[in-house]
Amino acid sequence: MTLKKIYIFALSVILLGSCAKQLDELLVNPNGPTPESANVDLYLPVVQSSFVGVFSSASSFGRELTRQTVMYGPTYNAAYSPNSFDGVWSSAYTGVFKHANILIPVAISQKKYVQAGMAKVMKAYTMMTLVDMFGDIPYTEANLGIDNTNPGVTKGAEVYAAAIKLLQEVSDTLDLVASGSLAHGPYPGFLDNFYGVTNAAGARRWATQAKLLMIRAYMTTRLADSGAKAKIEALLSNAFVVASLTGTTQDFEFKYSSKQANPNSRHPSYNGNYNGNGTTSGSAGDYIGTHFLWTIAVEKGNFSNTVANDRSDPRTRYYLYRQTTNQSGVNESSVSCSVAAPPANFTPTMPFCLIGFAGFWGRDHGDNSGIPPDGNFRTTWGIYPAGGEMDLNQGTRVSLNRGGQGAGIQPIWQASFSEFLRAEAVLTLGIAGDARAFLEAGVRKSISKVIGFPATIAYVVNPAVVPSSATIDAYVAKVLARYDAESTNSARLNVVMKEWYIALWGNGADANNNYRRTGMPNNFQFAKLPDPGSYIRSFLYPSSYINLNKNAGAQNTPDKKVFWDTNPAVLK
């Protein structure tokens, strides 16, 4: 090869290399950015929507088991199948975990610590929720992509410990942000669908919420953790936790809007029950549990259409909307149980079928009989928390655009829950404090939250149906009188757990956790069958997990307990 040819060849190699380098740069797709170049504020809505999907599903299953809404059954074993849980599993693994894992390191690199903290809180809560539902779950080997397509399970206790570690990281980091010791980049603002944090002071709410969820975790696991008392005491002594307990501004809730389409961002319980035009096709889809209707409208004093004579729970008209205010629609066709005797296993004081007056229309636990044409009679969700209609004795059918138009909330953790938790801690762990005072504070905070909710979504309530201070005081007095009449801490705890159960309307996840941990409230309506089988202590693993993962292991059975459930009680 001549010197001239060698020179031309070398020049060609240089030019081709330079061209290839320029072409390589064009391989970065601007429509599919790498995680390192991503805008975390675009990931944040995905994590939030996936997280609220997990909570909503867990809440739905939990409230069915605890009689807030109907579980058809008729046995616990037949109530659900593995594919019932594919949705919550997918929302957790391909929604929350996948996107949170991408968001967190990028947010930290951009000094968006609140956004990272939000993702960690939602991830931690999801981790604990999956353990609460299923027990051992894929975690350490999960979400590794092609590196491990068949992840094995991690023990539930280890997953809980990892979740608590995440919450501690949030607490530590955002305490620094809130104090001004750690500089922060742009805050999430309106993209934060919980607190709307726009400054360092707002970061304190996420820091404190992480602490409160740690307390919740330690209380949930107290039967299996001898160190729970000391851990809870340490957190309850934190100045910011103490400050949060004096008010109701720390409520951790996901907020929906009234938007119907593109996207539909209304509360799912509104979507499922407020439809049609209110004259020919309006029909509620859900059945409220007969037991829950009885609990708030009868147990402590009968409901009355005449407000002055109403002795029921002050939250009744906010929680529930009656499509009829009397029993005129009751017949064998619309309510077959109305002509049947209560099951032989029911106690004389146990509610059965309809509660007998004022149009309250629900369904018994484990009633798998056919669905009658009663969609326009069923009692359904009210203004709180689903953004439905306030009960003013209208007695008219549900329809689209009624009430708060779906601008409800998911009540994940509220100030009242913290008070009930403190009462439980005093009665079961011996933590210092006045359980009776905490009980009263929990009841009053819950009632205040519910009564004040319509104003937060610009729904104007007729003052004639708003419970007076005297009415609220009378209800609280009844609760405290029952507490004072008990002679043991176990019996007093039952009073606390009953009031917590009522306050948890909209949060079946904690209702189910509380029942498994304590066996209380202890007067749940029985299932219609005399022997419905074992109460579900853990749900079946999803079909998508069992069928597609060769390392999935054995399927759960209803009586298999999660690690923290060492409660020996036989649950009904």
Inside any domain, residue 15? no
Q: How many domains does the chain have?
A: 1
Total Cβ atoms within 10 A of residue 154: 18
CA dist 265 and 194 (Å) reads: 14
C-alpha 389/C-alpha 269 separation (Å) is 12
192 within a domain of the structure (yes/no): yes
Give the integer Cα–Cα distance in Å for 233 and 422: 10
CA distances from 347 to 190, 322, 344, 453 (A): 52, 27, 8, 37
Q: Is 409 strand, coil or helix?
A: strand
Residue 457 lies in a domain: yes
Q: Which residue has the tokens 């005081």?
A: 473
As to burial, measured by CB atoms within 10 angstroms (0-12 exposed, 13-18 middle, 19+ buried), residue 49 is middle
- CA 542 and chain centroid, separation: 19
State the pairing for strand pair 153-154/252-255: unpaired
| 8 is a domain residue | no
CATH number at residue 241: 1.25.40.390
Phi, psi of 435 (to 5 degrees): -60, -35
Structural domain includes residue 355 = no
Residue 225 lies in a domain: yes
pTM recorded for the entire structure: 0.93
pLDDT tens track, the chain, 572 positions: 444 444 444 444 444 454 444 544 445 555 444 555 668 988 999 999 999 999 999 999 999 999 999 999 999 999 999 999 999 999 999 999 999 999 999 999 999 999 999 999 999 999 999 999 999 999 999 888 888 889 999 999 999 999 999 999 999 999 999 999 999 999 999 999 999 999 999 999 999 999 999 999 999 999 999 999 999 999 999 999 999 998 767 899 999 999 999 999 999 999 999 987 544 457 899 999 999 999 999 999 999 999 999 999 999 999 999 999 999 889 999 999 999 999 999 999 999 998 877 999 999 999 999 999 999 999 999 999 999 999 999 999 999 999 999 999 999 999 999 999 999 999 999 999 999 999 999 999 999 999 999 999 999 999 999 999 999 999 999 999 999 999 999 999 999 999 999 999 999 999 999 999 999 999 999 999 999 999 999 999 999 999 999 999 899 999 999 999 999 999 99
Structural domain of residue 493, as residue ranges?
36-256+410-548
The secondary element (H helix, E strand) that includes residue 252 is strand 252-255
Examine residue 379 and state whether it is found in any structural domain, yes or no.
no
One-letter amino acid at 411 equals P
Distance set, CA 222 to CA 225, 232, 300, 436, 517 (Å):
5, 10, 31, 21, 9
**Is 565 contained in some domain?**
no
Helices (H), 320-388: none
Rounded to whole angstroms, the Cα distance separating 151 from 148 reads 6
